[in-house]
A and B are shown apart, each in its own frame.
Chain A
């Protein structure tokens, strides 16, 4: 596989060829610019390429969905951004969107319809789960994780916001590792501290940072790997592990990275 050049077509390129992809991969701002999150993007693209799933990205035509602006209270900016995105998406007649960011997922899926954007939006955890269930994605190199303990950190915008708790866990189950839950999980999952535009500002005064509290819970499970499914959670958990000086023994990975890794992609 690594011999081949990875293909990442844009919608514009495909349109020029008169083609339309099955899915639009919505990369998101973190997935595009954040160095750590870029690795998630790349892992997911590798999986799409391996399975020969026809996809495209918007590339330079993609904008922020507006989630942090809306949650901070800037509805004007949100709607302006959303309207711009909807015009682009509708111009390409996009039907199905897959994204690796739960915030993009929630906004595109739940909040764009009121502004005229109606798409079938799937988060990559559900997408991977479907591929596994359909037998298209077989995790044969799962041996790599044998004997490892993995704990999954629920993203608020997947879990409570959209009731997606099982899909990421089912994906992790294919890895042949030992899954363990934190003290607060699923509906009671503790936030990483980044949502609601907190990612973009200092935390308010308190006794401890939210990500430190969450990482403490993760470390209590004695897991070797903290699995995440959100680029913001990734940042917060990675930082928290570093602050505890545990970055050598405890790794934070996205679901897509774990699956790509298990497949030696």
Chain B
């Protein structure tokens, strides 16, 4: 391809990649807004601090050092190596080669220092990805072998790791082929006009170790390799960008808003239902009710489907990276019950995607007659197994709250569907009639005092 065609193709690919990504993001934001309102404004300072510590600083990951270390390698690697994307994009649009060095006059020592840093980080990413593949497949870690991870979620996790290895490989082989070309021109060989492009950059240590692999290649095939790796790297990144919103890898973006909006109240606190408070106040004080404002329209209590949840619950669902730390810590799951907090999040997201797709294909009014609490998604048995111990909430590295969703679904089961185990109904009746969950009279609440005084007579 000649220069100008390459530039045009590059601009089209770049704009195309970013446009498709933006359209998908628009849909996801629309889907999240299908959730009920929840006012999480204010406390900006506290929220920013939380986001910086937990998302940016990965504080909660460091509860477990080995995965935290490898995760950090990939994270730093990706963030820093992506600075190189800026140069690649400028080169692509302007038809330049290593524009920071060739046209913007960056000092050779500095330039090779930067690229060398990127290369070591790239190696770090490759090592971490390999370590993660081994962890995931061969170390018998229960949360990775769990029944939640079938088909797509299982494949997805592997695709991410392989793609990251390939992207880093492209970067290293791009540099290796570039240096092989530089070597040819430095020794006076090759086509003179190409020699002006592949100017000497100084040694990139890691990729230079790959040069012997390319030693048999001539100028033409080296240029082809160099171009393929360059295009492979940038097109790979654009494809990956568009893959992310369909993948558990979405957490790399969503972790930031998700931790920002995460709960500031103690974990033990359940969100109050003001609509019920209003009804009870009217029951207890009918005079005030008559003089007060008109009763709000009756709403559904709790959540049966994802659109009955609040937008933060839905943001949580899109942020989940399916690591399964929640499920591994869940006392119900550890003892063989059906409940898995990770599955609560995955089901919420999958159901929301289903509703979103229905809106796109069949219009906003389309009802498919399904719901989140159903045999297809979350069952009553799962919801009933929860001890509300907050272990899942505590574990999540990006402050996802599966318990919030469980509470909302339980509220609907009890208050709308009247579905409760018989023992719970007895407990409710006892609280209502005797002011205690057991069948004891409220008049006997001080009987223990008699025992105490008998003992002390």
A residues contacting B by CB (< 8 A) are 2, 4-6, 8, 10, 27, 29, 31-34, 38, 41-42, 45, 57, 59-60, 62-64, 66, 68-77, 79-81, 83-84, 106, 109-111, 114-115, 156-157, 160-163, 187-191, 193-210, 212-214
Contacts and interface: CB of A to CB of B under 8 A. Distances in A.
Contacts of B444: 32-33
Contacts of A214: 331
B266 interface: yes
B417 to A, nearest CB: 10
A197 B337 CA distance: 16
A242 to B, nearest CB: 18
Given A63-B436, A64-B431, A194 B415 contact: no
Contacts of A32: 436, 440, 444-448
A117 to B, nearest CB: 12
Interface string B435-455: 111101011111111011101
A106 B456 CA distance: 33
A8 B446 contact: yes
A198 B410 CA distance: 13
B203 to A, nearest CB: 48
A114 B272 contact: yes
Given A8-B452, A162-B266, A206-B335, A62 B445 contact: yes
Contacts of A199: 437
B335 A207 contact: yes
Contacts of A76: 276, 279-280, 415
Nearest to B268: A161
B336 A208 contact: yes
Nearest to A46: B452
B410 A81 contact: no
Contacts of B452: 6, 8, 42, 45
Contacts of A194: 387
B414 A72 contact: yes
Interface in B77-127: none
Q: Which of B277, B437, B448 has the most CB of A within 10 A?
A: B448
A196 B277 contact: no
A115 B448 contact: no
Contacts of B381: 204-205
A196 B446 contact: no
Q: How large is the interface on B (under 10, 10 to 19, 20 to 34, 35 or more residues)?
A: 35 or more
Interface string B278-302: 0111011000000000000000011
A208 B277 contact: no
B394 interface: yes
Given A83-B284, A162-B266, A200 B437 contact: yes
Given A32-B436, A33-B440, A206-B337, A10 B411 contact: no
B437 A73 contact: no
Contacts of A81: 431, 435
B5 interface: no
B267 A42 contact: no
Contacts of B453: 5-6
A5 B415 contact: no
Given A45-B452, A70-B270, A75-B301, A213 B436 contact: no
A110 B445 contact: no
A73 B391 contact: no
Given A72-B414, A204-B332, 12 more contacts: A6-B449, A27-B445, A33-B445, A68-B437, A69-B431, A76-B276, A161-B268, A162-B267, A191-B331, A193-B387, A196-B388, A206-B337
A188 B276 CA distance: 34
A58 to B, nearest CB: 8
3 shortest interchain CB distances as A-B pairs: A161-B268, A207-B336, A196-B388
Given A33-B440, A64-B431, A191-B331, A38 B273 contact: no
Nearest to A213: B335
B428 interface: yes
B386 interface: yes
B424 A200 contact: yes
A11 to B, nearest CB: 12
B424 A156 contact: no
A6 B390 contact: no
A114 B265 CA distance: 12
A184 to B, nearest CB: 8
B446 A209 contact: no
B386 A196 contact: yes
A91 to B, nearest CB: 14
Contacts of B39: none
B268 A33 contact: no
Nearest to B275: A75
Given A33-B436, A73-B407, A38 B451 contact: yes
Interface string B33-62: 000000000000000000000000000000
B424 A72 contact: yes
A62 B273 CA distance: 24
Contact of B431 (A68, A75, A209): A68
A109 B385 CA distance: 26
11 contacts: A5-B453, A6-B456, A29-B436, A32-B436, A72-B428, A73-B411, A76-B415, A77-B428, A80-B432, A188-B394, A201-B424
B326 interface: no
Contacts of A74: 411, 414-415, 420, 428
Contacts of A106: 266, 268-269
B335 A200 contact: no
Nearest to A103: B268
Contact of B456 (A4, A157, A187): A4
Nearest to A209: B335
A93 to B, nearest CB: 20
Contacts of B336: 205-208
B431 A110 contact: no
A10 B436 contact: no
Nearest to A74: B414
Given A5-B453, A157-B268, A57 B435 contact: no
B376 interface: no
A80 B448 contact: no
B438 A190 contact: no
